[in-house]
A and B are shown apart, each in its own frame.
Chain A
Amino acid sequence: VTAEAIPRTESVAVERPKQRRSFGDAPIHVSLLVIGIVISMPIVIAFFISFTPLAELVGRADPEIIPDTWTLENYDTAWNASPFPRYMLNSFIQTGIITIAQVVLSVLAGFALAMFEFRFKNLLFGLVIGSLIVPFELTFIPNFVLISDLGWANTYQGLTVPFLASAFGVFMMRQFFLTIPRDLYDAAKIDGSSDWYYLWRVMVPLSKGAISAFTIFAFLSAWNQYLWPLVITNDESMRTAQIGIRFFLVNQERATDWGAIMAGTVIVMIPTLIVFLFAQKQLVKGIAASGLKG
């Protein structure tokens, strides 16, 4: 029997038993459910605790996950007794600028590297790839010195400018653009279309999947940044949400106000959870693609 003669099935290592189908699936269902609950438990706990009244939290003999009475007072504390609205605004501005810039610049650079012929092309592409292995430890101290010297500490420029371009994005866009048949480009050229028009009217609409996968990736990385906003801001009004939650934790922990801390936590992670729930497929595809290519 040659390999080609074997019909393709959906079977993987653990094969579906042919008989007693539903019964055979049960152990897998149970294991996955238990594993899923264990893994998502910290996030679920954060949600429940954020609705638990302070009195109940400190008054219990044993910690419980589900509150007896539900309250919104923790959200009130987090939102009004601390600069959380400002933290969130800062994060949205910082993340918005970084995401838009990274996507647009990656599309432009990826297009040039995929479609044009020019001197030093390979060298420039090599420099893009090379920058991917430079760890942040190497760059963040000189960048801190530079941004401080420019007077950009505690500003949106300081938070965003070092991250306006993404080597990973350029690489991803170039790889995707290369899969679009070149004939299309040549035909468009013959029809007299400009490169600019072709890029935005043909290439970009054809690359929606890849572009949205990268947009999600860029959004999440920017929103979740920690070390850089921590060192480049010391003014409370310029902190991002991630840094805000750290200082909020330090303040509220003394009062063991874990309900308010978890309310703050929920507020900070809600945008990323929404992205996860609504764009899970693209996110997973993007991550899987990065892994398969190495």
Chain B
Amino acid sequence: MGVTTTADRAVRTKPKRRYKRGSSKAYLFLLPTFVILFTFIYFPIIESFRLSQNRVAPFGSQEISVGFDNYTRLLQSSDFWDTVKVSLWFMVGAVPIGIGLSVIIALLLSYPLRRLNWFYRTLIFVPVVISSAIAGTIFRLLYNPVVGFFNHWLGLIGIDGPNWLNDQSYAVVAVTITVVWRQLGFNVIIALAGIQNINEQLYEAAKIDGAGVFARIRYVTLPQLTPTLFFLAVVNVIISLQAFGEINILTDGGPGRATTNLVYQVFIDGFVGTRFLGRASAQAFLLAILIIGISIVQFRGLGKRVHYQ
């Protein structure tokens, strides 16, 4: 591999010759994709920043530019920080539970069963194809105080269930449970793939050192799984910050503003009643900076922070 022969060099100069002949063809192949990416992803970034400096002028439909005024007003308003708090509650509730459950389930699924493996996988993976609207609709039935099942089941074990969707403190829990459920299929698939990617020899070595099942999980599986767990953490943080469909169907941001997260406030400002596209864009921009920041941490973290032991 390291030896370069004259023949290799001849082959390597070949692309240079093709450089010009192939290049116009390459651009043609890429053109449709880039037209879409530029029009609907890259241009909107700039446009979104411009919109975020606009405000509807009083007594008219004219949009005027107010510079960073939308941002300073937002950062000073308690309503804005309330929506940030709701977003963080969803994150704190959904991410550790979602990942913890999926790792436990994936460990069980990784056990080499002779039979029924496919059956359990089908039952456990299925939420992966369910949309937020469908999850919201089904869970709205489950939470229903009269015909719903959750409070009926809680009643069977002697717990008087709350009015999930109409109670300020339980509505957040209700939405979080739904989001965790819908995300579970994806999380288990990723966790299982990570577990199955671990070199079996490490387990053999641990066994020779006298490690039992739990010691092997603690000292082999979990350390080896850190890159997967890190990936899951980032994806789940982003998904929980972006929760929208479930909120729209389960609670419509309520009761009061109990489940109005940042995304939902963007939706309300931009699309419900009078359109405040400037304020909506400013909030979207702040949220996007947070999410892009997390994504960049992921890219850097994959290279640096996560290390195999």
Contacts and interface: CB of A to CB of B under 8 A. Distances in A.
Interface of A: 1, 3, 6, 8-16, 25, 28-29, 31-33, 35-37, 39-40, 42-43, 45-46, 49, 57-58, 62-63, 65, 105-106, 108-109, 111-113, 116-119, 121, 124, 127-128, 131, 133-146, 161-165, 167, 170, 195, 220, 223-227, 230-231, 242-243, 245-246, 249, 253, 256, 258, 261-262, 264-265, 268-269, 272-273, 275-277, 280, 283-284, 287-288, 291-292, 294
Nearest to B188: A39
Interface in B179-235: 181, 184-186, 189-190, 192-198, 200-201, 203-205, 207-208, 213, 216-217, 220-221, 227-228, 231-232
B-side interface size class = 35 or more
B120 A138 contact: no
Interface in B100-153: 105, 107-114, 116, 119-142, 144, 146-149, 152
Given A253-B140, A265-B138, 4 more contacts: A39-B126, A108-B32, A116-B25, A135-B288
A136 B192 CA distance: 28
A287 B288 contact: no
Contact of B108 (A10, A31, A49, A269): A31
A13 B217 contact: yes
A83 to B, nearest CB: 16
B159 interface: no
Chain B, interface SS category: helix
Contacts of B277: 141, 145
B147 A58 contact: yes
A287 B193 CA distance: 9
A256 B147 contact: yes
Contacts, number: 340
Contact of A135 (B110, B124, B231, B287): B287
Nearest to A147: B40
Contact of B33 (A43, A106, A162, A261): A106
A162 B35 CA distance: 10
A141 B281 contact: yes
Contact of A272 (B130, B263, B299): B130
A164 B190 contact: no
Contact of B249 (A8, A133, A249): A249
Given A13-B213, A35-B105, A294 B227 contact: yes
Given A14-B213, A134-B288, A142-B48, A118 B205 contact: no
B194 A291 contact: yes
A263 to B, nearest CB: 11
Contacts of A283: 128-129
Contact of B204 (A9, A29, A167, A256): A9
A142 B134 CA distance: 27
A8 B128 CA distance: 32
28 contacts: A1-B208, A9-B204, A13-B203, A13-B213, A15-B207, A32-B109, A35-B123, A39-B181, A40-B124, A42-B139, A105-B36, A108-B32, A118-B27, A133-B292, A136-B242, A137-B263, A142-B47, A162-B39, A167-B37, A227-B244, A231-B271, A245-B133, A268-B131, A269-B130, A288-B189, A291-B228, A291-B232, A292-B193
A288 B48 contact: no
A65 B153 CA distance: 12
B68 interface: no
Interface in B277-298: 277, 280-281, 284-285, 287-288, 291-292, 295-296, 298
